[in-house]
A = this chain, B = another copy of it.
Amino acid sequence: MVTVAAFARTAALVGDPARAGMLTVLMDGRALTAAELARAAGVTPQTASGHLAKLAEAGLLTVARQGRHRYHRLASPAVARMLEGVMAVASMPDAARPAATRAPSIRSPGPRDAALREARTCYDHLAGRLAVAMADSLVARGAVELGEDGGALTPAGEVFLRGLGVDLDAASGRRVFCRPCLDWSERRPHIAGALGAALLATCLDRGWLRRSEGSRAVAVTPGGRLALGRAFGYRQACACGDAA
């Protein structure tokens, strides 16, 4: 039985601006140190420490100590799904949201912003223009079906993706491991869930994409430009996310 108190406590944990900032940053799926999270949230380390202790104790985060660092990451896909759900509601076009008290949210990414819109990680899968293009291409080719409530990989899609080297068995024995996830920047769904994770893993394994240091942006490699263009008809909008 889930008590209303536990329900409220969980939501309240996400509802604090500082903690929300940390969780937002952790949505890229990586493990970050307390100091990095403190900077991201705009608070001092001691304040962040308190927040992180609460989040960990409630089971939203897991911590791994490595030397004198403590790495924090989202505890489970369920937490990521919850955060996605809140995002979806928060981004809904609702009645007159006064843009008055607009805190500087996250330190302005500046020129990196374009790279973020192009391709970035979203917990364990891809997001951005690349991810939306991949989803569109897969739907157009009849490889996956995507709806408001879920998605599915078709038999034809299974063949196609295996041909690309995507490891479909690692995820689960069934073909229903697909889930739409609303893209912040594109405002269109991309592919999340186990299939989304497998796609990202493949792109990284084959050297098509490379994670950026200290950012959730991912860069398309020269080889990736070729392979992604061929497989999904993807063409970069700009060269800003280029991998040297």
Contacts and interface: CB of A to CB of B under 8 A. Distances in A.
A105 B17 contact: no
Interface string A41-61: 000000000000000011110
A102 interface: yes
B103 A5 contact: yes
A138 B81 CA distance: 25
Contacts of A16: 8, 12
Contact of A87 (B7, B19, B79): B7
A2 interface: yes
A193 interface: yes
Copies in the complex: 2
A195 to B, nearest CB: 8
A176 B194 contact: no
A20 to B, nearest CB: 4
B175 A149 contact: no
Nearest to A196: B149
Contact of A85 (B86, B148, B184): B86
Contacts of A185: 1
Contacts of A176: 145-147, 149-152
Nearest to A152: B152
Nearest to A2: B91
A59 B96 CA distance: 10
Contacts of A66: none
A179 interface: yes
8 contacts: A3-B103, A4-B21, A5-B17, A11-B11, A146-B176, A149-B150, A150-B152, A150-B176
